[in-house]
Structures are given as structure tokens and as C-alpha cells.
Structure 1
Amino acid sequence: MTTSTAPAAGSDNPKAEPSLHRVMGPWLLLLFIVGDILGTGIYALTGQVASQVGGVVWLPFLVAFVVAVITAFSYLELVTKYPQAAGAALYAHKAFGIHFITFIVAFAVMCSGITSASTASRAFAANLSQAFGLGLEGGFGITAIGLVFMALVAAVNFRGVGESVKLNVLLTCVELSGLLLIIGIGLWAITQGQGDVSRITQFKPNVDGGMFWSVIAATTLAFFAMVGFEDSVNMAEECKDPVRHFPKVLLGGLIITGIIYVLVSISAVTLVAPDKLGEGETPLLQVVQAGAPGFPIGIFGLITMFAVANSALINMLMASRLVYGMAREQVLPAALGKVHSSRRTPYIAIGFTTLLAFGLIAFVGGVPALGGTTALLLLCVFTVVNVAVLVLRRDKVDHKHFRTPTLLPVLGALSCAFLTGPWTGRAAVQYQIAGVLLAVGVGLWALTVVLHRRTGSPAAQDGAAMADKTPMS
């Protein structure tokens, strides 16, 4: 994920900041969207989804795709109406004008970045162990590697990482190559009479309640693989013509990734039985071993590790910069907004977000719990965004913009809100993780308010400060 940040340290007049370069055409925007969606979810959670529903593992991914597309229509109306690099926090503020709601939305997005990066660290460790025969699965070794990996991410983050479109193209190609390899192996195996294609229609629920509730429970996990499309709205100020390009490109990117996910799921369950696919945290490595035993497993392991490492770095960059931005706008303690004198990076915010990630990796651990929490947090944000579309219909702008059919935001709000509920079979630990993270944010917010009152320094009263004055990092 990427997101906006507050003005650069040392800037006395945010409004004097130069505007962002509009360098992204439709093809580069498409690669950004596809690259942002692809990553940890499909590489790490395919097996867990299969353990929920059996051979119809592709179905939860399809349902998640439909929900994501409906919500994408809401984002399309808002990003073409307000083509600014701020995302959900901006839309929440414009719709409701309540500082605390704007803060909670922004902090929830930040927390989703930390849980997503923690998921990636576990996936990285598991694939490293499996690909190179370290034999650390299920033990403390995976946690230890995950912690070391997160420390390395923090070190890179501290040194300073500039995101560039050209680098994103390279990373997208690497991530995509691994998934296309899975699809190719699956198609080859099917044409050679290997595997069991009949599995793709076999349903095996792991909970009482029949097919519907099992698919819904699996969808709450599969949705993690579809998140990332919402980050593209933060590139609005760097697109040559966002009003004209975004609708076709965003929907096109979702369709491409949706097709890839369904084909990967079909290939996976054709070659590996669902029960076995759900064992461990390296499902796609099992598929390569089963369908192409002669293929160097270490190469695919490196591709997977590269893909999830990229996801972790991008998410931790986003999380630390968002904490920094909120501190700069006086809604979090000022210390979190400090910038290192030589590296010019928000080192306190980096340390804070890294410590939260360490806690998640060490004490929560499991990929399903962390990935499910990411989906939970973003589904809550998506619910707010879908409602914001309807509220902001009263706000007229002086340029043409995309307008989604009114039914879609309604369906989006209802479906996203539905998928956050305990009736879906979502594990209680996901609510606990999300609750603790948000409680930390609310505590810091309250502490900041108290400190401002004691010192007589005016706290930020306008929630738009976190959104309206924020260039991309």
C-alpha cells in the first residue's frame, strides 16, 4: 500500500509546496494497480481458503472480487470528483467533517498496513524455510526469521526508499511471473492428464451451516488478496488525466487480477488436494513441487519471497509515513513527527510502527489471523467510503466526473459491513488484534489532546489537515 503523508519536515507553508508531477499515463497506472493488488494474499492464503471450502477454493476469491469491484465504483466517483492524493481520510472528512472520524479512518488504514506487513513477514519466513529445506515450519524459527526480516525492512525504511514507477513495473513483473508460472504448470498438468480437475467442483465445508456460510468465512480471508486497489487513488495527483483514465484502468486492473486469482486457485486445487494445500504457509510451493517436480523450487521460493518482501516494505513505508503525517498535523504526539537529521526519514514513527509489527509477529503469528485482520480493517474503511459517496452527492464540483449508479454504493456498504461481522465465522482473534491496535491509536490521540490543553497549544481542529495538505511521499 501507499498513502499520503503530511508536508515535509521543515516546510512552514504547506500550500507553497510544488505540485506533483503528472507523469503516469494509463499503462503505468495499470501496472501500479495490478502490482499493488498482487502479493502476499494469493501466495500465502490459498491453502487456508481451500481448508475452508475444499475444491471450490476459487469461489471465495470470486466473491471477494465482486465485493472489491462494487467498492471500486465508489472510489472511482470520489477520486474523479476529488483528484487528490489523500484517499479514504479525505473522503471521510469531506463527507462527515468530524475530526475524530477522519483520524480513526486514517489510523485504521495505517494499522492495516502493519498487519499486512506482518503477514508478509510470516509468509517470507515460511517460504524461505520451505524453499531451502531449513525445516523451521511451525516452530520458533519462523517467528525468529519474521522478526529479523521486519528489522531489515525497518533498516531499509530508515535509510529512505523512494518509490518510482519504473521500480514498480519491475516488481510487478516479478510478482506476476510467479503466478503465471503456477497457471502454466496447472494447464500443462491438465493437458497431460495429471491432477484431478473434478476437485474444482467439490465442496467440503469445515463448519456447520452449509455452503453459504463456509464460502462467506473463506471470503473474509480471500478478501485480503484483493486489497491494494484502493491505494491507487493516492496516485491521482500524479496521473496525466485521472478523470478520464481512472475508471477504465482501475476496473481493468481488478479484472486482470481477479482472473489470475481464479486461474491460480483452479491450478492449485487440481494438483494438490485441498486438505494438503491447507497445511503450512507455503501452498503455492506445494503446487510447483506437485506439478513440476523438476523445476528448481528455490527459484520459485525466491520469487515468492521477493513478492511478499515488496508488500511488506511498501506497507511499512505507508504506515510510518502516515503516523508521521498525523503527528505533524498534531493529532498524535509530536515526537512521532521527528525526522532524522542526516537520513531525513521519520525515525520515531518507523520505530513505533516496527514495534507494533514485532508484537504481532511474536505474539499473534499466524498468517490467517494477520491477513484476516488486514481485511477486517479495510472492510470497515470501505464501508465508510461507500457511505461517503452517498453523503457527498450533495457536494457539487465544477468539473465532470465519474458517477456510479446509486445502487452500487448501497450494495458496497451493506456487503462490506456484512463481511466484518462475527456471523461470518471470522476468528475472534482478528477483532482482538484490530481492537488493540485502534485502542493504541485512540490512546495516543487522547494523550495528544491532553498535552495540547496543558500547554495551551491549539490542537488540529480541522480533520482536513490530514488529507487536504498531503503530497505523496
Structure 2
Amino acid sequence: MTDTVPPQPKLRRALNVPLLTLYGLGVTVGAGIYVLVGATAAQAGPYAPVAFLLAAIVVAFTAFSYAELSTRYPVSAGEAAYVEAGFRKEWMTVGVGLAVAASGIISASAVTIGAASYLQPLTGLPVPVLTFAIVVVMGLIALWGITQSVLIAGIVTVIEVSGLAFVIYWGFGMAAPEGVPLVQMIPPLTGPHWMGVATASVLAFFAFVGFEDMANVAEEVKDPIHTMPRAIIATLVLASVIYFGVAAAVLYAVPLDVLGSSSAPLALVFAGAPEALQQGFGVVAVVATVNGVLIQMIMASRVLYGLGDRGHLPAAFASVTRTQTPLAATLFVAGLIMILTQTLPIAALAAWTSQVVLAIFVLVNVALIRIKHHGPPMGAYFRVPLVVPYLGLMTSALLLAVSFI
């Protein structure tokens, strides 16, 4: 088995390391931590920060596998291309591509509901109306152009990360400590609590869904051999540090029983703050979660575009606008998100997303193992030791199994 030379890209190579890192942080940070801290705490109790660390470990091995594969095959529909190179089976290629697109669509639907939950107190409008409006606006931005879309997402990412830093500051420094003392967040080495932590790590894993999206815009990245690994690793490290800090601060400030039942958990940290501050953070939370919708929409449309461009889906999915963005694919993705937001709850959408992505991680790691075993290194690309995809395979498969218990 040998590497194939990827075709010349039709999309515009416009993304550098800072933009791509902001892209990854935008979907990773905005999608999960603003929405799912409460659900994670409901399962892991005072050990929710540890659940985020476990999820980060699972993600780390696979992230390095993606770093190599995205430089071997810097094209849209990245996971589909990786599985195609590793297995040489068209049905697997199409199946993985559609699964990746589905994960983005389901994830965007969950985050849309979270965004509407933060926005509802500020507007008084019903959540279904707000979800509809969010999807329409994000779809129009996604059609505008990749540089403009990612630049907007990057600016918003800076705002949302600043908001999370403020949550950490307020939770530890200003809010009344009504939650769990820090020392009680450290779990004993043995005991039944670890099953709850492991189960919660599946939800926490949803908060890390995003770094793999960078592989699906590789066709629009400048110098992918150097840019992709740096941006993927930077995204994972920054997200892990932010998640642990935010989860600990929220648990410290908010009673556990209140936190576990909230769909807008970070707002609870500011329950005793001045009204202007509460409303200000509500705006930041809306912007952050909406940003996650935009980036997942961009990712899913690129996957469908890539499959259409390679003849695996109808050619209509490969159509592009004058600004070189996928037209039919973006409209199709937006339509499906709209349907899901009106029919399914956020917890189910998050759990499904995690399961789909973990299954994809298993296949991607196996693909890299097969590529490394069956083909000599060809060309210049980022390389990881063979043990990395094996560890990525084992940890992803284990967490996937836990998700069905």
C-alpha cells in the first residue's frame, strides 16, 4: 500500500496556524463547556473535572494520529480519505464520511439548543424560534466565504475564551463558595465512583469534539505539513487547561444539585452577581455557543462537498459559490440541523455525537496502523510512532464501550 498524491484543491488555501487554532478552539471550547458541565456533574458528581481530564487523554492519542494523517492527505472529507487509504474499500469511505458529517450536524444541533437556552432569558422568545433563527444566520455566514467565516469564528473564539477565563476568576475569587471544596474534587484511587466518572467522560468527550474538524478544512490550509500538527496540538492543550479550570470553578461556586439540572450551567456562577454582569455573560455565552454551530456547519458541509467531489455522493454536493464555498452541501446541512433542533433534547444529541465520533476515531486509528504497516514512508509529512495509533485505538474503543453501559 502506498500513498497517493492528492488532487489539486479547488478550495482556497487561506488558513494559517493562528486562524486554524482559533477555528479548532471555537468549536471545541464553545460547543461543550458552555453547555455540558451540568450534565457531566450530574454523572460524575464532585469529580467532574477528572472526567474532563480522562476525556482529554483519550483525545490526545487520536489527535496525534490526525496530525500525521492530515499532512499525508490534506484534503476535505479528511477521515473518509484516511479510511480510503487504509482500507481501500469504497463503502467504508462513504460510511465514514457520512458519519463525520452526521457528527457535525448532530453536534451543531445540540449546541444550537444550548445557545437558544442562553438567549431565551435575554429575548423572551421561545427556544424553537431562536434555534430556527440561529441556524439561518449561521448558514448565511458559512456561505459567505471560508476566510470571512473563520475570521469571524476566530474573533468570537477570543471573546468566548475570555468569557471562560472570567468564569474561572469569578468562580474562585468573587462568588460565594456554595459548591464542592477543591480537596473533595480529587477522587480516591479505588471505588465505585470511577464508573460514574468514566460514564461522565463520554459526555465530557463531547466537549473535545472539534479538533478533528480541522482535518476537514485541510484543503483550505496554507502549508498543511507544518500548520496542521501545530494547530491540532495547540487546540488540544489549550482546551484541556480551560476545561479543567472552568469545571473546577463552577463546581466550587454552584451547589451540585442545582448544577446537574441546568442546560445553561455557566450562568449559574453569576447568580449572585449584579444584573448587568449576568446579562453581559449571557451575551458572551450566546456568542460562544453560536460560534460552535457555525464551525460545525462549516465542517459538515466540507465533508459532503469532499464526498461529492470524489464521486461518492451526487455531484450537486460538489457545487460551490462564487466565493468558493460549498453551496448545496451547506444548505443541506443547515436544513438537517433545523429539523434536529426541533425534535430531540440536548443530552441525547450530545451522547449520540460522542458515540459517532468515538467510532470514527477507532476506524481512523486502525487506518493509520494499516498505512504504516503496509506502505513505506513517502514524501514529507508529520510522523508519529506506531504506538500512538494503537493507544488511540484502545482508548477510543474503551470509552465507546463505556458509553453503551
> TM over 0.5, yes or no?
yes
Structure 1 letter corresponding to 2:338:
F
The Cα RMSD (Å) is 3.0
Any conservation in 1 of the 2:26–2:291 contact (CA below 8 Å)?
Answer: no
Any conservation in 2 of the 1:325–1:337 contact (CA below 8 Å)?
Answer: yes
Name the residue aligned to 1:77: 68
More helix per residue: 2
Structure 2 residue 181 is the aligned partner of structure 1 residue 198 = yes
Structure 2 residue 392 is the aligned partner of structure 1 residue 412 = yes
Any conservation in 2 of the 1:89–1:102 contact (CA below 8 Å)?
Answer: yes
Of 180, 183, 189, which aligns to 2:174? 189
Structure 2 residue 296 is the aligned partner of structure 1 residue 315 = yes
Greater CA deviation, 70-79 or 58-67?
70-79
C-alpha separation in 2, matches of 1:200 and 1:286:
22
Any conservation in 1 of the 2:34–2:265 contact (CA below 8 Å)?
Answer: yes
C-alpha distance after superposition, 1:16-73 (max 9, x if no partner): 767854762x444443433342112100000000111111110111111111111112
The 1:249/1:155 distance shift into structure 2, 3 A limit, reads closer
Secondary structure in 2 matching 1:403:
coil
Structure 2 residue 375 is the aligned partner of structure 1 residue 395 = yes
Name the residue aligned to 1:437: none
- Any unmatched runs of 5+ in structure 1? 1-13, 427-473
C-alpha distance after superposition, 1:389-435 (max 9, x if no partner): 110112223335443233331121122122223x4356xxxxxxxxx
What is the TM-score of this pair, normalised by structure 2? 0.86
Structure 2 letter corresponding to 1:303:
V
Note the C-alpha offset of 1:385.
Answer: 1.0
What is the TM-score of this pair, normalised by structure 1? 0.75
Of 360, 364, 370, which aligns to 2:349? 370
Structure 1 letter corresponding to 2:292:
S
Secondary structure in 2 matching 1:397:
coil
> Superposed, which structure 2 residues align to 1:27-42 within 5 Å?
27-42=18-33
| Number of residues of Structure 1 aligned to a counterpart in Structure 2 | 395
Any conservation in 1 of the 2:202–2:351 contact (CA below 8 Å)?
Answer: yes
C-alpha separation in 2, matches of 1:235 and 1:350:
14
Name the residue aligned to 1:280: 262
C-alpha separation in 2, matches of 1:109 and 1:278:
29
Secondary structure in 2 matching 1:56:
helix
Of 218, 233, 245, which aligns to 2:200? 218
Structure 2 residue 40 is the aligned partner of structure 1 residue 49 = yes
Of 281, 284, 288, which aligns to 1:300? 281
C-alpha separation in 1, matches of 2:177 and 2:22:
34
Greater CA deviation, 308-317 or 94-103?
308-317
Of 138, 147, 156, which aligns to 1:171? 156
Name the residue aligned to 1:121: 112
C-alpha separation in 1, matches of 2:115 and 2:193:
32
Structure 1 letter corresponding to 2:336:
L
The 1:236/1:145 distance shift into structure 2, 3 A limit, reads closer
Name the residue aligned to 2:211: 229
Structure 1 letter corresponding to 2:22:
L
Any conservation in 1 of the 2:44–2:196 contact (CA below 8 Å)?
Answer: yes
- Any unmatched runs of 5+ in structure 2? 1-5
Note the C-alpha offset of 1:250.
Answer: 2.7
Structure with higher Rg: it is: 1
The 1:388/1:328 distance shift into structure 2, 3 A limit, reads closer
Name the residue aligned to 2:80: 89
Any conservation in 1 of the 2:259–2:268 contact (CA below 8 Å)?
Answer: yes
The 1:326/1:425 distance shift into structure 2, 3 A limit, reads closer
Any conservation in 2 of the 1:56–1:200 contact (CA below 8 Å)?
Answer: no
C-alpha separation in 2, matches of 1:194 and 1:235:
43
